[in-house]
Structure 1
Amino acid sequence: MRILHTADWHLGARLVERERLHEHAAFCDWLIEMLRTEQIDALLLSGDVFDAANPPQDAVSLYFDFLKRLADLRSVKAVITGGNHDSASHLNAPRELLKRFEVHVFGHGGENVVDLGGAVVAAVPFLRERDLRQAAAGEVMAEVQAQVRSAIRGHYAMQLQACRGVAGERPVIAMGHLTVLGSTTCDSERDIHIGNLGAVGADVFAGFDYTALGHLHRPQKVAGTETVRYSGSPVALSFSEAGDKKSVEVIDTQGMKIETMPLPAKRVLTRVNVSRSTLAADLEKVANACWAEVTVKLDAPEADLDRQVREAAGGRFEVLKVLADLPQSQTSAWQHNGPALNELQPREVFGELLKERQIQGEELQSVFDELLAMREQKVTA
């Protein structure tokens, strides 16, 4: 059996308010052709189908158009799990209809065992804290972390047992949407559990023949383990992914051979560091037609820096972000040299507020984490 593993489509995502739908549409075109020409038997999509719990209608339309084209192939089964960005109920709404076309959708956790014929899949979506444990008054973060990680480990152990009972000698594959220790993260990923409580070791997946992971956007093996992999996102979702080569994984269950299939680049992102004194010459080296984040090394602040950089680019490429690299003596009073507010996660914003007010905030941070977790659960339910 040949299985294709992908994840983290984030349909509806934007980059500095730039639309990405045409890039996602091009990926869907490529994927349908790949499924056909590579004689793929099953598609695994490991979470974050959409970028938001309430995605824009054009993103939803693209998703259903892809599923229609997938069904038209008449040869490819699919397993789709929810991620931390997805609404479980939104994903699950058409599941009974999709099951008629051999498309199996799982927004919520449970005993989600799918028999694909040549392999059996434990289709584990993102496990929210309420799926893993009951909160109690007076808990400290270390206790919560231990409970969450133990519950994740126990969940996969039960899934493995259930799959083995069905599979016999056939391969058993796990899906998951979580952070695994030893992986490399990007700027575009949201903490999957507050404070990263749910990060687990790759040994959680011991006993599975392959683990198809989602959540981290950089394609990678986990801690050097060949059979535990993140496929990564098909589209670069932040400038921190500018140098990444996007791909999908293809697994041949006969001998468990794994092949990384590169994706064609439809949109080039680049990060550029330039000097103010040689701005025009430095920008001449930037490739045409890309989207760029430009950091300019300055001796002193310049109020119209953004305009100067865009003019120097001369329309050959689009400058989405301009950052100033100033001497330490110049930054504190004039400009915040860290990420912009819209680039921070809510927990980071609250942490910055505590620092600014000089508040010792461990207890307050714990309360904020609980409130944030409650809000996340309500939004994505």
Structure 2
Amino acid sequence: MRILHTADWHLGARLVERDRLSEHAAFCDWLIETLRSEKMDALLLSGDVFDAANPPQDAVSLYFDFLKRLADLRTVKAVITGGNHDSASHLNAPRELLKRFEVHVFGHAGENVVDLGDAVVAAVPFLRERDLRQAAAGEVMAEVQAQVRTAIREHYAARHAACRAAAGKRPVIAMGHLTVLGATTCDSERDIHIGNLGAVGADVFAGFDYTALGHLHRPQKVGGQESVRYSGSPVALSFSEAGDKKSVVVIDTQGGVKIEMLPVPVKRVLTRVNVSRAALSADLGSVPQESWAEVTVKLEAPEADLDRQVREAAGGRFEVLKVLADLPPSQTSAWQHHGPALSELQPREVFRELMKEKQIEGEELGAVFDELLALREQKITA
């Protein structure tokens, strides 16, 4: 059996207010053709189908258009699980209809075992804290952390036992959307649990022949194990991913599990470049044409019109999305625009900045805000 593993599409995502729909559409075109030409039998999509619980309509249309084209192939079964960005209810809404086309969708945690014929899959979506434990008054963080990690371990152990009972000697595959210790993160990933409570070791997946992970956007194996992998996002979602080579994973179960990486074509190049003020135009000459760029300029002192100067130096060959100043420590406090824009910050970061501005010390208020934010996100994605 040939299985393709992908994750973290984040349909509807934007970068500095730029729409990414054309890039995602190009990826969907490539994926449909790859599933056909590479004679794939199954597709695993491990969470974060959408970038938000309430995605824009054009992102939803692209998703259903892809599923229609997938069904038209008539040869590829699919398993889709929810991520921390997805609304479980939104994903699940058409699941009974999609099941008729061999597309199995799981927004919520449950037993979720799918028999694909030549392999059996434990389709585990993002496990929210309410899926794992009951909160109690007076708990300390260490107790909560231990309970969450133990519950994740027990959940996968139970799914492994169920898969093995159903599979016999056939391969068993796990899906998951979580942080595994030792993996490399990017700027574009949202914390799943407060304080990284849900991070677990790769040994949680012991016994599975392959584990198809989502959440972290860099393609990578975890814990030195070839069979425990993040496929990564197919489209670079932040400038921290500018140098990444995007890919999907192909799992071949014929005569044992074999793993191959297939590179994903890049429609829009993201570039991070560091330049000097004295040689601004010359240094920008290395930026690929028609790319989107984040430009950091090394300065001796603040320049109020730096943004305009960089954009003029680019000369329209590429689009400058962000301009950052690299100033000496003595000058940093005088520069008014050195920090990230408000649109680039997560709500938790905005609240921390507000506390600093108001000179509010202590972590108690921040912890309360984190709890309220987590409750709100759980309600939105339910």
Instruction: Give the shorter-chain TM-score range.
Output: over 0.9
Q: How does 1:216-235 map to 2 (within 5 A)?
A: 216-235=216-235
Q: Give the equivalent residue in structure 1 for 2:368.
A: 367
Q: Give the equivalent residue in structure 2 for 1:206.
A: 206
Pairwise CA distance, 1:348: 2.6
Against the structure 1 CA distance between its residues 140 and 360, is the aligned structure 2 distance closer, same or farther, given a 3 Å change threshold? farther
Pairwise CA distance, 1:356: 4.0
Against the structure 1 CA distance between its residues 144 and 294, is the aligned structure 2 distance closer, same or farther, given a 3 Å change threshold? same
Structure 2: distance between partners of 1:334 and 1:209: 53
Q: How does 1:135-284 map to 2 (within 5 A)?
A: 135-254=135-254, 255-284=256-285
Q: Give the equivalent residue in structure 1 for 2:330.
A: 329
Structure 2, unmatched stretches of 5+, are none
Q: Give the equivalent residue in structure 2 for 1:351.
A: 352
Q: Give the number of aligned pairs.
A: 381
Structure 2: distance between partners of 1:333 and 1:291: 28
Structure 1: distance between partners of 2:290 and 2:283: 16
Q: How does 1:287-326 map to 2 (within 5 A)?
A: 287-326=288-327
Deviations 1:140-184 (Å, cap 9, x if unpaired)?
Answer: 211111111111111101100111110100000000000000000
Structure 2: distance between partners of 1:12 and 1:244: 21
Q: Give the equivalent residue in structure 1 for 2:380.
A: 379
Pairwise CA distance, 1:339: 2.9
Q: Give the equivalent residue in structure 2 for 1:41.
A: 41
Question: For residue 238 of structure 2, what is the amino acid of its counterpart?
Answer: S
Pairwise CA distance, 1:372: 1.2
Pairwise CA distance, 1:137: 1.5
The 8 Å contact of residues 294 and 320 in structure 2, kept in 1 or not, is answered as yes
Q: Give the equivalent residue in structure 2 for 1:340.
A: 341
Deviations 1:87-110 (Å, cap 9, x if unpaired)?
Answer: 000000000000000000000001
The 8 Å contact of residues 2 and 250 in structure 1, kept in 2 or not, is answered as yes
Q: Give the equivalent residue in structure 1 for 2:99.
A: 99
Structure 1, unmatched stretches of 5+, are none
Deviations 1:203-255 (Å, cap 9, x if unpaired)?
Answer: 00001000000000100001211000000000000000000000000000122
Q: Quote the RMSD (CA, aligned, Å).
A: 1.1
Identity of aligned residues (%): 87
Deviations 1:23-68 (Å, cap 9, x if unpaired)?
Answer: 1111011001100111100000000000110111111111001000
The 8 Å contact of residues 16 and 343 in structure 2, kept in 1 or not, is answered as no
Q: Give the equivalent residue in structure 1 for 2:77.
A: 77
- Tell me the secondary structure at the aligned position of residue 333 of structure 2: helix
Question: For residue 347 of structure 2, what is the amino acid of its counterpart?
Answer: P
Structure 2: distance between partners of 1:323 and 1:40: 44
The 8 Å contact of residues 212 and 231 in structure 1, kept in 2 or not, is answered as yes
Question: Quick check: 195-204 or 101-110, which moved more?
Answer: 195-204
Question: For residue 295 of structure 1, what is the amino acid of its counterpart?
Answer: T
Structure 1: distance between partners of 2:118 and 2:24: 30
Structure 1: distance between partners of 2:9 and 2:303: 39
Structure 2: distance between partners of 1:150 and 1:341: 37
Q: Give the equivalent residue in structure 2 for 1:58.
A: 58
The 8 Å contact of residues 32 and 69 in structure 1, kept in 2 or not, is answered as yes
TM-score, normalising length: structure 2: 0.98
The 8 Å contact of residues 141 and 366 in structure 1, kept in 2 or not, is answered as no
Structure 1: distance between partners of 2:197 and 2:191: 9
Structure 2: distance between partners of 1:166 and 1:182: 31
Q: Give the equivalent residue in structure 2 for 1:125.
A: 125
Structure 2: distance between partners of 1:333 and 1:143: 44
Question: For residue 218 of structure 2, what is the amino acid of its counterpart?
Answer: R
- Tell me the secondary structure at the aligned position of residue 149 of structure 1: helix
Question: For residue 277 of structure 1, what is the amino acid of its counterpart?
Answer: A
Question: Quick check: 138-147 or 287-296, which moved more?
Answer: 138-147
The 8 Å contact of residues 302 and 334 in structure 2, kept in 1 or not, is answered as no
Deviations 1:120-145 (Å, cap 9, x if unpaired)?
Answer: 00000001111111111222211111
The 8 Å contact of residues 354 and 361 in structure 1, kept in 2 or not, is answered as no
Structure 2: distance between partners of 1:337 and 1:142: 36
Pairwise CA distance, 1:331: 1.3
Deviations 1:306-327 (Å, cap 9, x if unpaired)?
Answer: 1100000000011010011111
- Tell me the secondary structure at the aligned position of residue 278 of structure 2: helix
- Tell me the secondary structure at the aligned position of residue 3 of structure 2: strand
TM-score, normalising length: structure 1: 0.98
Question: For residue 98 of structure 2, what is the amino acid of its counterpart?
Answer: L
